[in-house]
Chain A
Amino acid sequence: MAAASGPTAEELLKELAPQVLGVLLRRGAPFAAAEDAVQEALLEAVRRWAEDGAQPADPRGWLVTVAWRKHLDAVRTDAARRRREVRVAAAPDPGPTEQSDDTLLLLLMCCHPSLSRPSAVALTLRAVGGLTTDQIARAYMVPVTTMAQRISRARRTIAGERLTRSGDLGGVLHVLYLIFNEGHSGTADLSTEAIRLCRQLVRTTEDPEAQGLLSLMLLHHARRASRFDPDGTLVPLDSQDRARWDTALIAEGVGVLQGALALDRLGPYQAEAAIAALHADAPSARETDWPQVVTWYDELVALSDTPVARLNRAVAVGEADGPQAGLRALADVPEDVHRHAAVEAHLRERAGERQRARELFILAARRATSAPERDHLTRRAAALGAGS
């Protein structure tokens, strides 16, 4: 939310733009036309509000009125050009319950199941996040023409879809999770953007999984300063300087999680957030409540039995009950799962099997999907090579 001093006009417009877009979509404007109309209204707002020296009392209502008028103008111009009869339905008044749903409806539209995930990510950042196409292209390190195509293709795909309230909220959560988790080092701060979008979502729904996802994001974001050395070296959780974790974000994340758990509808994001909260609560890796972490992984596997969840559970079992127990838990995990070799290497090293651990770290480094992970695993292998 905006600080008590009040948002700047720019912040306010960024916050209101998706809401106004949602209103236009609800009134039946096609997606691309609605976006154009909102953009024009934003430009007019910047100009007019500066001239008048003040914002209108109801900036949102002002923007809706202007954007809708811009849209009608465009429709009439277009219709006149094509010599078609003008048929514009009267604008329905937005009811009181509609307003808070605008952002949710827009998110449901942008994350529609008919879109590929990259397309949904791009459209969400553009239409809801208000990022420019250029910013999104740089964040994902693709040419701006490619990103422009991806977005316009996504718009065409959803052009015929109807906006309904009973859309796929799980799809929205997954897209926001992807935006947060991609961790690209581009110019736009996507993690912060994902948190901002998830906050908006949480304000519009009572969904405990949306809250669980927000909590998960906040708790991981809190570790941000400690995840890399100044030279870019990856620092794993057990070696991070916990004094650098952001205690305000942790407190907020834990608070959001408690609110979600109180609704008593547990889901995978809440379980993952609970695990992150246990780590956040521990003064060191050694002092972590590992049995409790294992319990939450059991919940997670029961809710969503994925190989990755089982793999991470094996790590926790290894910490709670020793490396042999961890290796037994790992036996349930398919070997082709990403990071399987890395986890087994770690457990073998703790079990004293240095030679086997070294071979597995070398294999894990070959299979790493990121350079910092690869370098970290190569160093672990090298450390076992010396004097063993």
Chain B
Amino acid sequence: MARYLLLKHYRGGPQPTPEGSVPMGEWTAQEVSDHIAFMNQVADDLRERGEFVDAQALSPEGTFVRAGGEAGRPVTDGPFAETKDLVAGWMVIDVESEERAHEAAAFLSSAPGPGGRAINEWIEVRPFLTEPPTVTD
């Protein structure tokens, strides 16, 4: 049993597919609806399989904050537009094996985009740290 984070990026990962390179703002309303319906279906399938833990979407708007007084005041623009990667959202799954996590991620990646074609976007798969095992020797 292992828990994995399936991370969706607005940008980032290896070379994107042509379908995955078109920003959602340029899709038709129906294409957006179909894409979201697919995401919901993926979550429902994972629930039905007893593998679903969490799904969240993030606003692309964010703020960088750090300690350090004036120098660390919140930053909301500037470097943001140029950052090469933005996290769009995630799913957390609890599955039997890494292979199953990769299978679920690949399916999630195949969500429909422009023209109803699969965007095959890159999904980053990250294992969660667990508790240490009891048997050690």
Contacts and interface: CB of A to CB of B under 8 A. Distances in A.
B53 A142 contact: yes
A166 interface: no
Chain A interface helix/strand/loop/mixed? helix
B137 A237 contact: yes
Contacts of B52: 142-143, 145-146, 149
B136 interface: yes
A306 to B, nearest CB: 13
A181 B51 contact: no
Nearest to B133: A181
A374 interface: yes
A117 B1 CA distance: 8
Contacts of B51: 146, 150
Given A117-B96, A140-B94, A149-B47, A369 B137 contact: no
B1 A183 contact: no
B49 interface: yes
B135 A216 contact: yes
Contacts of A344: none
B129 interface: yes
Given A118-B95, A121-B1, A149-B48, A180 B134 contact: yes
Chain B interface helix/strand/loop/mixed? loop
Interface residues of B, number: 23
B129 A371 contact: yes
Contacts of A279: 137
Contact of A370 (B47, B54, B94, B130): B130
Contacts of B134: 180-183, 191, 220-221
A213 B49 CA distance: 30
Given A119-B50, A151-B50, A182 B1 contact: yes
A237 B53 CA distance: 34
B129 A153 contact: no
B1 A146 contact: no
B132 interface: yes
A182 B51 CA distance: 17
B94 to A, nearest CB: 5
B131 interface: yes
A183 B131 contact: yes
B125 to A, nearest CB: 15
A149 B49 contact: yes
Contacts of B132: 183, 234, 370, 372-373
B98 to A, nearest CB: 11
The residue among B47, B49, B53, B134 with the most chain A CB atoms within 10 A of its own CB is: B134
B47 A146 contact: yes
B16 interface: no
A147 B130 contact: no
B127 interface: yes
A87 B133 CA distance: 50
Given A146-B94, A370-B130, A122 B50 contact: yes
A122 to B, nearest CB: 7
B129 A118 contact: no
Contacts of A180: 134-135
A365 to B, nearest CB: 11
A368 B129 contact: yes
Contact of B49 (A117, A153, A221, A315): A153
Interface string B4-26: 00000000000000000000000
A178 B1 CA distance: 9
A147 B136 CA distance: 28
A196 interface: no
Nearest to B94: A142
A118 B133 contact: no
A182 B131 contact: yes
10 contacts: A118-B1, A122-B50, A142-B94, A145-B47, A180-B135, A181-B134, A181-B135, A276-B137, A369-B127, A370-B129
Q: List the 7 shortest-distance A-B pairs measured between CB atoms, nearest first.
A: A150-B50, A149-B50, A370-B132, A183-B131, A183-B134, A116-B96, A371-B129
Given A116-B96, A118-B94, A374-B129, 6 more contacts: A149-B50, A153-B49, A220-B134, A220-B136, A279-B137, A312-B137
